[in-house]
């Protein structure tokens, strides 16, 4: 149980216009789709966390939280694509100082029954800050602008803060 709640220190990559992983896990989806929170076409990159991964979530890009959404929902297996829209989830929209916008969504899984999100609307956040936690197997979706250059591949293992997901 102690292993599950670990939150290791990670070295923050200090570069502008990068989006790092918000979670440890494996990339299970990279696709063009509608961002349901911003209502616009985006690139979605999904990271699935199994029970052995670190479940502390970190801010993927510095900026301001311009909106926050919480939806109660089901608890289907988080590795299924329908989990993005059916499961309990909490989304934050981050706007950078350069006016680039991404959406970061914590999604509960089959066993996960509690999403913690400490970020609030109008908070100024920095890449690598801890902003939340999802208990047990779960998923984090990142919705990126269509002109983002994705730097990960399907099946790749990623670590929060350390793995660059995309450049903007």
Active site residue 62: no
pLDDT of residue 89 exceeding 60: yes
Calculate the CA 81 to chain-centre distance.
15
Indicate whether 145 belongs to any domain: yes
Buried b or exposed e, range 21-37, using 16+ CB within 10 angstroms: bbbbbbbbbbeeeebbb
Give the CA dihedral 78, 82, 83, 88, nearest 10 degrees. -160
The verdict on residue 120 lying in a domain is: yes
Number of structural domains (the chain) is: 1
**Average pLDDT of span 133-145:** 87
pLDDT value of residue 113: 64
Q: Is residue 82 part of a domain?
A: yes
Q: What pLDDT is attached to residue 26?
A: 97
Whether residue 35 is contained in a domain is answered as yes
Q: Is 85 helix (H, G, I), strand (E, B) or coil?
A: helix
**pLDDT over 80 (residue 24):** yes
> Taking 90 as the threshold, does the pLDDT of residue 141 lie above it?
yes
CATH number of the domain enclosing 143: 2.70.70
Averaged pLDDT for residues 148-156: 98
- Catalytic residue chosen out of the listed positions 56, 84, 138, 149: 138
pLDDT in tens, 42-84: 999 999 988 777 778 999 999 999 999 999 988 777 888 888 8
Alpha carbons within 13 A on the beta-carbon side of 149: 4
Query: Which among 142, 148, 147 has a CA at the least distance from the CA of 25?
Result: 142
What's the predicted TM-score (pTM) here? 0.92
What range defines the domain where residue 150 resides? 24-167
């Amino acid at each position: 149980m102690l292993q599950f709640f670990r939150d290791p220190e990670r070295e923050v990559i200090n570069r502008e216009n990068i989006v790092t992983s918000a979670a440890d896990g494996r990339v299970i989806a990279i696709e063009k789709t509608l961002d349901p929170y911003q209502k616009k076409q985006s690139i979605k990159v999904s990271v699935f966390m199994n029970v052995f991964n670190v479940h502390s979530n970190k801010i993927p890009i510095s900026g301001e939280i311009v909106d926050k959404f919480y939806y109660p929902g089901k608890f289907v297996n988080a590795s299924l694509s329908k989990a993005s829209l059916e499961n309990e989830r909490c989304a934050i929209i981050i706007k950078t100082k350069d006016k680039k916008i991404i959406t970061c969504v914590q999604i509960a899984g089959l066993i996960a029954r509690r999403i913690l999100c400490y970020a609030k609307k109008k908070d100024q956040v920095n890449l690598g800050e801890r902003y939340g936690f999802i208990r047990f197997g779960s998923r984090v979706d990142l919705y990126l602008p269509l002109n983002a250059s994705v730097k990960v591949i399907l099946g790749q293992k990623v670590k929060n803060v350390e793995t660059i997901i995309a450049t903007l």
